[in-house]
Structures are given as C-alpha cells and as structure tokens.
Amino acid sequence: MNLDFNKNKDGLIPAIIQDSVTKNILMLGYMNQEAVDLTLSSKKVHFFSRSKNRIWMKGEESGNILMLKSFKVDCDNDSILIKANPKGPTCHKGDDTCWGENNEKFFLNKLEEIIEDRVSNPQSNSYISNIFNNGIDKIAQKVGEEATELVIASKNSDKKEFIYESADLLFHFLLILQKRDIKFNDVINELKTRHK
C-alpha cells in the first residue's frame, strides 16, 4: 500500500468510514501514517484530529468504537475506504451517522449480534447461552429436528405452521453458524458466487 500523504499540505488523507453490514456511510475523518498503522495493528479505527492536533481512537471517550473490517486505498492512493463494525452511534452528537441518518441493520444481523452477545456474556435464563453450553452436537441435533419439522409442515396446508417452523429452522441455523464462527453474510456471499 503506497499512500500519498504529500498530496495535501497538512499530510493527511481523507478516510471514508462505511458500515460493513449496512453499507451506509458513517463519517469522514483524516489519517496520517501513524493513524493508519494504529488502525491496521489494533483493528480499531484511529484518526488524526485536526482540532486536537493529535491521534485519537474513535470512541476513546464514548466507547462507541469502530472495529476495522477492511481497509482499501483508492486508485490515486490519496483516499481510504474503511469498512467497519460500529459499536454504538458514530456521530459525537449521538446519531448513527454524521449526517443524522439511521443506520439500522437488517433484523438477521441484529439477531446475529444478540446470539454473539449471549455466547460472550452467558445468562442462566437464556436459551442461546444454555444450548451453547451443551456444545455443537446439541445445536446440530436441533437443526436436524427443526429441518424435519419444516419438511412435515411443508406437506400440510397450514401456512402459519410452515412459517413458524421456517423461523425455528432459520434461528437454529444462525446458532450453528455462530458455533462455527461463520456469519450469515458468508453464506449469502457463497450464493452470490454461485449465481455468477
């Protein structure tokens, strides 16, 4: 990567921050070499603050950090596109984006985050936490059971039952993906590859 920090007199390069899931633009910041290096090494997005005249990590005070997912340099080597996973609102005013736009994730992405949280922070009264404590065999068994129930429901004429069983299967499918450390978007990307 050959970033050209000399194109601007202040030696800074604009960095566009995009949500890695929703694809919405969250903010624009500026980076120098140190901010780039810290971002790449820590996987937390850092900038050079022109007002404070120092390096700062996004969310260092608020806790609303940006977790690095990808880092790309444009064709002229003078701007950066960072895809990140925001932990909370991005704007210092408390908005999702610096333009006051809503950055709502798709429900399945929210559900994945809930599952991740229940795995990382187990709760005794949580179905997710409890099934994860039983290991991959129990989760795989539930996926098999739910698939069988869906097959049976598909042969009946009860549309509500079919939707209910479809939801059960999808939920348990998300659990087994989490157990294997795979995202639903990884499966979608595989389908996209096959479509080509």
- How long, in residues, is the chain? 196
Instruction: Give the Cβ contact number of residue 70 at 10 Å.
Output: 10
pTM of the model: 0.67
The predicted model gives 56-72 an average pLDDT of 95
The domain at 13-86 falls in which architecture?
Roll (3.10)
The predicted model gives 170-185 an average pLDDT of 94
Confidence bin at 67 (pLDDT 50/70/90): very high
Whether the pLDDT of residue 49 is over 80: the answer is yes
The predicted model gives 133-161 an average pLDDT of 96
State how far the alpha carbon of 40 is from the alpha carbons of 46, 68, 72, 154, 175, in Å: 9, 8, 11, 49, 30
Residue 44 has φ and ψ, to the nearest 5°, of -120, 135
pLDDT at 161: 96
- Sign, CA dihedral 194-71-66-177, equals positive
| Nearest residue to 45 (alpha-carbon basis) of 85, 94, 78 | 85
pLDDT at 38: 97
The predicted model gives 115-126 an average pLDDT of 93
pLDDT at 104: 86
Q: Which CATH number fits domain 107-195: 3.40.50.12280, 1.10.287.1080, 3.40.50.300, 3.90.110.10?
A: 1.10.287.1080
Model confidence pLDDT, tens digit, residues 71-119: 999 998 889 999 999 999 999 999 999 999 998 888 888 899 899 999 9
pLDDT at 196: 74
Write out the residue limits of the CATH 1.10.287.1080 domain(s) in the chain. 107-195
Write out the residue limits of the CATH 3.10.20.810 domain(s) in the chain. 13-86
